[in-house]
Amino acid sequence: MGKSTVAANLAMALARRGRRVLLADCDFEMRCLDLVLGVENEIIYDIFDLAKGRIPLERALLTDARSPNLHFLAAPFQHGGEITADEFRKIITEAADSDAYDVILLDTPGQLNIPAVLDSRVADSAIIVASHQPSSIRAAGQTGEFLARQRISWQRLLINSFDFDGALGGSRPGINEIIDRSFIQLCGIVPYERALMIAAETGELACQLKNSMAAAAFDNIAARLCGQYVPLFHGFHGMKVRGQIKRLLAKM
């Protein structure tokens, strides 16, 4: 389960909470959010068409059939030209000024390349996604430093595919160690869930899965982003998981 899967599920969790969400795929070299959302055959226009003034904003957007609050802007199918910083800023500014959206989520590439730089110039906050591996957590810290230099001071860390057994057994870092290594405030933990990985290949989201702890995790994070207090592992179920959580929290 990767970064784009996180972006899609978080966008849907916010939309299900009544927030009007615009989700933009800003990975211009490896477009995949349309696959995660299951709408690859419905895309007609993309962000490049919009940047070059070929169509107005509303024609470029696709409304998700699972929620009227979620609107999607696809990355170019083939990146055959450059989108300038001014063009990108104009798109996001127009969407923000329209008052049609409460949240605009920009799904950026994992690397600090040109699209990431473009995004950082229009964003006012950042959710940094890291997997439960030391190298990924170190990269999250480096991303946080880069974004701080771009004057994005509001940053939150989201740990993806969290391995309870690894954290308890010592082969994966614990929660406190993750925070200490990244120097970023934690906003939530999404557990590893094989069912969600399979669902992502068919365009299904966590909210469509029965008894999904990942769905609970995304809803928890969405609630926190909306200003609510929610315990870290609220809604996680199963005797084994509850026992793991108890032991994990005891080590904090």
- pLDDT tens for 39-89 read 999 999 999 999 999 999 999 999 999 999 999 999 987 755 688 888 888
In the chain, residues under CATH classification 3.40.50.300 are 1-9+18-106, 124-252
Q: What's the pLDDT at 175?
A: 85
pLDDT in tens, 125-184: 999 999 888 888 888 998 899 888 888 889 999 999 998 888 898 888 888 888 888 889
Q: What's the pLDDT at 109?
A: 80
Nearest alpha carbon to residue 38 among 166, 203, 191:
203
Q: What's the pLDDT at 12?
A: 98
Q: What's the pLDDT at 171?
A: 85
| Mode of pairing for the β-strands spanning 155-162 and 126-131 | parallel
How is domain 1-9+18-106 classified at the CATH fold level? Rossmann fold (3.40.50)
pLDDT in tens, 168-225: 988 888 888 888 888 899 999 999 999 998 998 899 999 999 999 999 999 999 999 9
Amino acid in the structure at residue 183 = F
d(CA 111, CA 96): 25
pLDDT at 239 over 90: no
Residues 6 or more apart whose Cβ sits within 8 Å of residue 131: 159, 160, 161
**pLDDT higher at 61 or 2:** 61
Q: What's the pLDDT at 118?
A: 59
Nearest alpha carbon to residue 1 among 176, 218, 246:
218
Q: Three-class SS of residue 159?
A: strand
d(CA 173, CA 161): 13
pLDDT at 228 over 90: yes
Nearest alpha carbon to residue 132 among 100, 97, 158:
158
d(CA 27, CA 109): 5
d(CA 221, CA 12): 12
Q: CATH homologous superfamily of domain 124-252?
A: P-loop containing nucleotide triphosphate hydrolases (3.40.50.300)
**pLDDT higher at 250 or 154:** 154
Nearest alpha carbon to residue 100 among 130, 66, 61:
61
Q: What's the pLDDT at 79?
A: 59
Q: What is the pTM of this model?
A: 0.92
pLDDT at 99 over 80: yes
d(CA 81, CA 192): 37
